[in-house]
Structure formats: C-alpha cells, structure tokens
Structure 1
Amino acid sequence: MLRSSNSDTIKESSNKVGDTNDDRDYDAIIKQSTTALAEIYRTQHIALLDKRAFALGMKSQFREGLKDAQAMIKYAPDLITGYLRLGDLYLRQGMSRAAIDIYDRGLENLHPPAPPLPLPQQNGETNSSLVADDPKSYYIQLINARKAAVKQHESRIDFIQRLSTELTMNIFMHLPLSAKVICTQVSRIWRTKILRCSVAWRVIICDKSLTTDTSTAVCNLVARNDALGIGSHIRRLVLHCNDFSSENNNMKICQTYLDSMMNLRLTNIQELSISGNNGMGGKGILSCGMMIYKIMCLFFFLVHSIS
C-alpha cells in the first residue's frame, strides 16, 4: 500500500484506538495502541530523516544525506518519501542514472493505488477534481520525478566548450596520450582546443602501452603541415621501436616521425631517443640509422646557415 504522509497514518491509528476504547475491549486497546505507537515512531522518524537529508544536501554534504535517505527506504519501503529524497540527492550531484534506478525501484515497490472517490458537493453532485485523500497524486510525483531524471540524463553538457582556456589546458596536459587522441575525435571544438594546447604534446612517448591505432593517429598529427599538426609542440620524442606489434609497423612509425623532422615539422624538438633490439632486423636498424644521419646533416647545415 502506498503511503503519502505521516499525518494520515497518525490520524488513522488514533481513530482505531479511540473506536476500540469505546467498546471497552482492553486487549484490543493494548494491541492497537502498540501498533499506533510503532507506526507513529516510524513515520516521525522518517519525517526527521527527510528533513535532515534535505538540509545535508543543501550544504553539499551528500554522503551523509544519502545515508539518511537510504535509511528512510530501509525503515519504510512503503513510503514514497524516501525514494523521492534519495533520487533528488542523486540529481543534485549530477548522478541522473542512479536517480532513475531509485525511481524505478520505488515504482516497482509502490504499486499504483486505486482511483480515489470524489468528494460530494453540498448540492449532492460530485466533483472528480476534489478528493478526500489522493494517494495517486503522490505516485504521480514519483513518475514525474523519473521523467525529469531521464531528461537530465539524456541532456549533454560540453564542459570543454564552457571552461576557460586555462582550465582546459590543465585538463589536457594530464591526460594519457591515448586519451588525447580520443579527444581529437569527439567534436570540432574539442579537436581545435586540444591541438592548440602545446603543453599537452610536449612529450611524446611511443611504447607498448599504446595501441597501433593510437600510435598511427599521433604520427598522422605530427606529419600534418597545417593548424591541426602537433609537430611544433613536441620537445621530447621517445620511440621504443622494439615494443610495437610488428617490424613493418615499427619502421613505418619511426620513419613517419623522422620524416617529419626532415620536413621541419618538429621545429622545437630538444630531445630524441630511439631504442630497439634484434627484433627490428638489420634492415630496419640501417634504415633508421640512415634517416638519423640525414637529420643530423640537415640540422648541422641549418645551424651553420643561421650563424
């Protein structure tokens, strides 16, 4: 049975005890009084927990507020109050999925009541809009709360677009390389912001922690010669060629980076480290060695040209 408030329960319990008292049925009085006291304690306890949970939520003390709201459902699973309060606290924290689950749990436990009887008017006619006690309205509150939670859950807020440039740069610079690559694929705004964040790309380390797709994506970003390229951001480049999935992929990735250096994409690089083992093969080592030699010659020429 769905319970809407504690006042109705107290009044109902008191009336039962009063009716029994008139009949002088003392055993019934004891039984009904005990039941009424237990019910009054329960509902009053729930009311106080609800007030405290609300106040804790308003002070952003959500952990303690959630404990009170969960206790409300534990003590009175047939009262709607606990489900509404717990769902509201979840929504205040942006946890719309958890709120939906709680509302679903409430709707499952609290079956919809029968339609209430309308109150008769003085002229004997009835008015369906007037009801003595409409528990259905409280059930509808739970349905409406769930609808609001679903709407919030389906809405999307682009926090990267709303945050300041300083904050977004601070976020991007602490992401792992694989996550940075994913950010470039979220939207045009995300892509533009992260590719312009030079501190996010100052150190590039390619090793076995990266998937082939991630390594290839970073290579492509380095090789670009436009605003979407990250070559000019790189200060330190570390290539662990022996950690890649295959020899051909090793060489392709290494040569992409080295080609970018040859084509002056990595204009601000300060440190280059390449490691390998016998798994690379003699041809691969020789190819990388020749490429590095050409880069050294190129930089030697550039330095002397400037001086």
Structure 2
Amino acid sequence: MVEPHSFTGQLTPDELIDIGKHFLKLAESIKETVNEQDHQHTISHTSEIIDQLLPRQKLILYDLRAHAYAMQGQPSTAINDAQQMITLSPALGAGYFRKASVFSMYGNQTQAIAAFEEGLQHASTDANDYTEQLITEKAAASNAKERRIDFMTLFPAEVIDDINARLPQDAKAVCLLISRLWREKILGCAAAWENLSISDNNNEIQILGVVPGYIGHFVRHLTIKTASENVTLICLRSMKKGYFSRIESLEISAITARGLAPYVGRLLIALSQMSKTLATLNLDLARNDGTSSPSILLTDILYACSNLKNLTYSTSSPLAELAGDFNTAEQHKTLINMQLKASSITRPDIEFMLQKCHKLRRFVINGCNPTVLDAVNSHSTNLEIFAYNANFTIPQLQDDTNLKETGLRQIYTHNDQDVPATHLLPLIYKNRTTLETVHARMSPITNEEELQSLYAAYPSFKLKRVTKLFFNGYTGIQKFMLQAIRNTTTVFDLSVASTHDVNELVEAILKLPPLQKFDLSLIDKSVDSSSFITLFERYGDISHSRPSLQYVSFRYCDVTDAELVALAGIKSLHEITLRGLDYVSANGISTLIQNLSSQLTSVQLIDMDVVDDSVLVALGDLKRMTYIELDLLQSITDQGIRRMVDKACFSTNTLTKLVVTECDQITSACIGYASQQIKVVVYSR
C-alpha cells in the first residue's frame, strides 16, 4: 500500500509535482482496492486525496497565481487569491504571508503589517514554519513604513500636477485625506479639477465640501447626478455665490432634476451667475414615472444664460407646457446648437423660438409631429444640421468658418418611421443646392396623379452636392429620389430600404460614378434581386482599374449565394455586413470570405442561423482582418471561436477587436481564451 504523503512547510511548484505523483500512485492503489473489494483501504486512500492532497494542491495553486497576479500589476486580484488561501487553511501561515507580501510590494506597509499580525495571531506554529518569516517580514514592513519617501516632495511641481490631473476622481478624494502636503498639492492643481462630477458617491460628496474655497474656480465642466436634495442645494449655493467662475459646461441629470421643482428660482439665479462663461447646458427633466417634469421654461433658461451656445433640453411633458412665451422674448445672440426632446412638439411650440434663436446651426428634435417641418422650413436661415425624430446619434457641428452660402448641409429622419412627403420634401427642395447628407424616410406615393403633382411642385429637383443619401424605395418615392441624383457626380454612400423595383434602382446606380458604400435593407423575395448580380459584376470589372465599392451591407434582404458570388469579384471591397439573410448558405458565406481573404478588414455577421463554425474558420484565414462582429448567431460554438482566433492570431495577428453578442452556445471561458490573444473583446449574452 502507498505510504501517506508528508508535507513540507513551504508551498512550492516542486511540491505540486510531488503531490501529483503521489496522487497517481494513490489512484492506482484505489483501482486495485476497488477490484479486490478492499473497502477499508479504498476509504483510506480516497480520504487522503480528499482531505489532504486536494486542499494542499489548491493552496499551492492559489499561492502561485497570487504571486503571478501581483507581478502583472493586479494587486486586488492577488489579494483575493491570498484570502482564498486563508479561508482554505486559516491555521497555515502561507495565506497571511502572501497577502502581506502583496500589500508590501505595492507600498501599502500599514495593511502589510496588519496582515502579518493577523497571521501571527491565527496561524499555528506547529502546523507550519512561516512564523519566523512572518516576524521577520513584519519588522521589515515596519522599517519601510518609517523610512518611506513621499514622492510629493521629490518630483518637480509640473510632474506632480501631471500625475494629479490623471488621477480618477475617487483617488483625488482619497489623496485629500493623506496629509496636509498632499491636500495642498491636489487642491492647487488646476488641471485636476477641470472636469468635476458630483453624484451620491461619498468621495464625490467629500470633494464638494472643498469646492467653495479651493477648486470651484478651476472647474470648467460640471456634472451633477445626485438624488440627494442637500447635495443639490450645496451645488446651487456654490453656483449662486460665484465659485464656478470659469465654468464652460453644466450637465444636470434626470435623477437630480426630479428634486428641482421647489428650487427652480435658485437654479435660474445660479445659471445667471455663471452666464459669462457658461457655453453648454444639458438639462434632463424627463420622468419615467408618468409625472410631469419640473417647470423650468426654455425662455427662462435662455434669458438666464445669455452667452449659451449649446443647449440640450429633455422633458417628459409636452413642449407647449415648458417652452414659455417666445413671442415676447428677446433675440438670443449666441445659441447655435439645440437638442430638444419632449412628449409632444408641434409647429406653434417652436415657430417663435426659431425666430428668436435665428443663429441656430444645429437643431435636433424628438417627439415631433410633421407640422414642425413646416416651421423649420420657414425659419431656418442659418441651419446646417437638422434631425427630425432621429433614433441614432447625429453628428456635431464642425467649425467651418469658410461657408460661403447658407443652407442645410445635413438632414436626418427616424430609421423606422415614415414622414409624409408633403411635409419633408419642401425642406429638402429649398436646400437642394447645399445638402450633402440626406437621410429621408418618406411615406409611399401610390397615386400617379400625386406623383406628377410632386414633379410639378418641385421642378429641376437635383441634389447637386449630396454625398450620402438614404431613402426608402417605396412606390413613387424611389423614382422621385433617383431623379434627384441623376447625373450627379458626388454621391459615394447610398442606402436604400424596402425597394419595390430593383431593376429601376440598379439602372440608376449604373449611371452614377462608382459608389464607395452601398447599404440595402428589407428586400423580400417578392422582389427580383437578380439585377444586383449585374451591378456587382460591373463593379468587379471597374475595381481592376480604379477605386470601386469598399463597403456593402445586406440587412434582411432575400438575396442568394449567387449575389454573394458576384460580390466576391469586387477587388476594392474591404468591409461587409450581412444581417438576417435567410436564403444564403454557410458555404456561400464562406466562399465569399475566402475569395476576399486578402482584402477584407471588417466583417459583421448578425442574426443568421446558417452561420456555423465553418464560416468562423474561414474568417480566421483573412489576412488583413482587424474587426469581427458576431451577433445573434445560434449555430456557432466555442470550438469555432477558438479555431478562428488561433488561425487569425497565428497567421497575421492583425485582428484587434472581436464583438460577440447573444450567441447562446458561446461561453465566458471561450471569451476568456480569445481575450488572451485579441486586444479588445466585447461579450454579452
């Protein structure tokens, strides 16, 4: 029979090997005792493994991993492993020693000493030989604590300021408590307080306590997101007293705005005190509980903030209740950017406002009815960017002082909600010579007489400068919009949804200079999509001699492998997005990827059960791939992800980002494996 294993006091990798060897011997013995029905020795050997070998093995593994984490700059994770050691064997000094060693390594001698003392108090001197080390290292930590050097006294002031400016806000709050010198250095660093956020975090509330006399005049960007009425009042009081004398932007979150109703007057006074420098205000008054928003009128805000350039104002009430009387308001001379969101916005709500804010260059509104478009069309002299109920991020203004003519440059509508053409087309037509981006989802025009009346109402409708165009290919609308870009030389990005006539669309595209981006969505099998083969073959021929299509997206289109084959011939293609394609095969997608293996840099595969591990393996062979997104794919497995990652990182190592979302068979363990080889991995289920 196998002799019981004797343990040394120290945990070492060598002992891990010895334990493994002894484990194997016991396993052989257990096999024999089971066959011989020697129950007594079976119990003895299995008990030794369960009670002695496995716990000791875990201790050694935790100890080795804790050391590795500490050496890799992950002290908190190392401390967690050391604590696991203590939990496994509280009478053994090893866990306390490892815990204290990590604290000491990172300069926290106070906590190191506490961990050494904890070990001396709880560890049994008979069970291990760590006692002497605990005593020796505790003395060393005490000496290190006594002779520690404060770096605040060593480095030049500009280096200290640079360090302080980079600290997270929580860390700054802790630094304020370390010593008088640290407090003076932190409070005197202007760059450290340019961005200040006040929430219900105790450290941030503590910072608020030093605002009045020290850091208020350093703050340029202030965010208030507290549910505490007392904290909100302290902020308002500090504003009113002029402590934020250089503030440029202020954001008040919805959670703070809920308690503002009794203090609207104080807020407006506070805003007026900061009006000389305050250029950006974000006020979120929206409520999700069905109650009305605090009555902070738009007219009062603009009156108090006379130099405001950017205003974001959200409310869950109708705008009519909170707009105020713009008819009697003064002209606002500086506002150029406004975002409004309300439960209801109509033409009368904004008509006078647009007249009094005549310098507006960017106007984003949500919650509108179509009559708002009529007001914008009548009162938008300087408007450059306009978004109507858009459900995506709208670009910000660019500082372009060389614009020689006024007029809209960009117009956006909702991705999924149709807008009556009778309201939207007048605005587009008025700005037809300046528009560069048109995202226009309009209702279908099924009556030929109505379509002819549009041609009569908007003669010579040509979008001469448009570079990016989105429209829905409904009856009437598609023909009208294609006429608008006929003979244009500027369009490079075209998106079309729900086209009713593919032949008409392809014929128009073939008459344009080659597109760089092409996005098709919501084309069902009732529409003949074979014309796309002609288009892609033509683009393939062009790509051999000059720049051609670089990005293609098919979203919920009933295209087939035949279209993918034609697509594979385009030598300039770098990015593809395939989403919700029900009539393609895994082989068709793999073949497309393989044929483009030397040129693709980005691939997104979304909501397709046909995508399986064979497709992932093909992705792994791409030579220039930098970005892969896999979303709502139910047929891919961990094995496929691992093979893709192994091939991609072994052959080219260009893949820098992998996104895996809602793929049910993919486990967190597999994602952990991918994270070891790819710089950025995003995962959610």
TM-score computed with the length of structure 1 as normaliser = 0.46
Greater RCO structure (CA 8 Å; 6+ sep): 1
